[in-house]
Amino acid sequence: MQIPEDDFYEQDPPNDLQQGDVLVGVPLLLLPKSEELLLLRSQGRKQRLSELPAGLVEVIREKLLGDAFDEEEFVGVAAIRTGVVLMTQTCDLGRSEFWTVTPLQALDVKEVDRGNLYSGKYGALFPFPKYEHFEESLIDIKELHSIRRENVSRSNRVASLKLPIQQLLSEKFLQLMGRRWGHAKDEAVPHDGKYRCLNCNNYDMPVQEMLFKKGESFPDCDCCASIRRPAQWYLLQNPKPKQLACIK
């Protein structure tokens, strides 16, 4: 998937927001690295808030309250306003209450090879060339956040992708989200059976199939090792009688 560096952005963006739009000043909530949340209650009485007051509130650890989350709560979390790329499909924007975005981050050539980035060799990364309102950047499609549609408007948009670039981004997104999973080398075999290497399916390689017993360790795949790809073993299912009849 070769991603062009020029002819990337619309000079005359459409009236409505669309997938791939670059938005600035978007609020993202950052949950704490803990299973416990901090609740906001009225100071002193510790009563649940029905709306966020202008006065003082008390911050209380969730596990100290016996009635935590019996009803909707106000919660104290970190937040930022930052640049993001809109990932929800254009046709769903008008009918979805929540939209999916991924943060836009500056390209660091010490960490990411620029040539490989534009050649599409990173499974989850997609480039955004320098534009009027931001430096050369990228997104990590795995890092997805949810916002409400009311959190942004057209005034937040600073760039809109041309249709061919939108399509490349959509293909990258679907490929990443729809990818199959397989066991790696040295993982324990969970069930007896015949396994196939997923990467052999993805490349023009002889398909590798092997029988494994539960408790064994998955080996490397010779074919995948020859092209420096990791093995991904998945269990083959036995077809039902009706399926066998169709094969005949």
Contact 117, 168 (CB under 8 A): no
* Confidence category of residue 44, pLDDT binned at 50, 70, 90: confident
Query: Model-level pTM greater than 0.85?
Result: no
* The pair of three-digit structure tokens given for residue 124, joined into one six-digit string: 């989850």
- What is the distance between the alpha carbons of residues 23 and 89, in angstroms, rounded to a whole number? 15
Helix ranges (H only) for 78-189 are 90-93, 114-118, 163-177
The reported pLDDT for the residue numbered 246 is: 52
* Residue 1 clears pLDDT 90, i.e. is over it: no
- Residue 90 pLDDT greater than 70, yes or no: yes
Length of the chain: 248
pLDDT at 113: 94
Q: Which of 176, 183, 175 shows the shortest CA–CA distance to 235?
A: 183
* Contact by Cβ (8 Å): 76, 39: yes
How much is the pLDDT for 207? 83
How far apart CA 224 and CA 227 sit, in angstroms, is: 5
Domains of the chain, earliest start first: 22-31+77-177 (2.30.30.110), 193-247 (no CATH)
Report the pLDDT value the prediction gives residue 240, as an integer from 0 to 100. 62
pLDDT over 70 at 214, yes or no: yes
Section 209-216 average pLDDT: 94
CA–CA separation, 212 and 195 (whole Å): 7
Confidence of residue 43 (pLDDT cuts 50, 70, 90): confident
End-to-end CA gap in the chain:
38
For the residues 68-96, what does the mean pLDDT come to? Answer: 94
